[in-house]
Amino acid sequence: GAGVSQSPSNKVTEKGKDVELRCDPISGHTALYWYRQSLGQGLEFLIYFQGNSAPDKSGLPSDRFSAERTGGSVSTLTIQRTQQEDSAVYLCASGGALDTQYFGPGTRLTVL
């Protein structure tokens, strides 16, 4: 069956521009997570959605970062006024329980 998909796979942008990253979770999965992985670093939690509950935004690094999940399915991560330190691979995962998180292939963001 279809796994988690993310788009675009690669994004190059200029400092100061806004970017939107998209995640399509596995159908039926109620939980959706965003992480980011900077070069040589471990994965860093950003935000978590579970059903209709208020999202856990505790990992968002600044107010330039926001995310939405529409209709309990597709999610968009938005980064406003991008900075060079935002360059990373942004990974989305979906699942029903913590030990069944399935990751998408990620979006590699490069801010010039």
Partner 1 sequence: RKEVEQDPGPFNVPEGATVAFNCTYSNSASQSFFWYRQDCRKEPKLLMSVYSSGNEDGRFTAQLNRASQYISLLIRDSKLSDSATYLCVVTIQGAQKLVFGQGTRLTINP
Binding residues for partner 1, rule: CB under 8 A, are 31, 33, 35, 40-45, 48, 50, 56, 59, 91, 98-101, 103-106
| Least distance (Å) between residue 68 CB and partner 1 | 18
Q: Is residue 87 classed exposed, middle or buried when 0-12, 13-18 and 19+ CB atoms within 10 A define those classes?
A: middle
| Least distance (Å) between residue 82 CB and partner 1 | 22
25 Cβ partners below 8 Å, 6+ apart?
4, 32, 73, 74, 75, 92, 94
| Least distance (Å) between residue 45 CB and partner 1 | 4
**CB nearer to partner 1: pick between 30 and 76:** 30
**CB nearer to partner 1: pick between 1 and 14:** 1
Q: Which residues of 40-58 are buried (b: 16+ CB within 10 A; e: fewer)?
A: eeeeeebbbbeeeeebeee
**CB nearer to partner 1: pick between 50 and 80:** 50
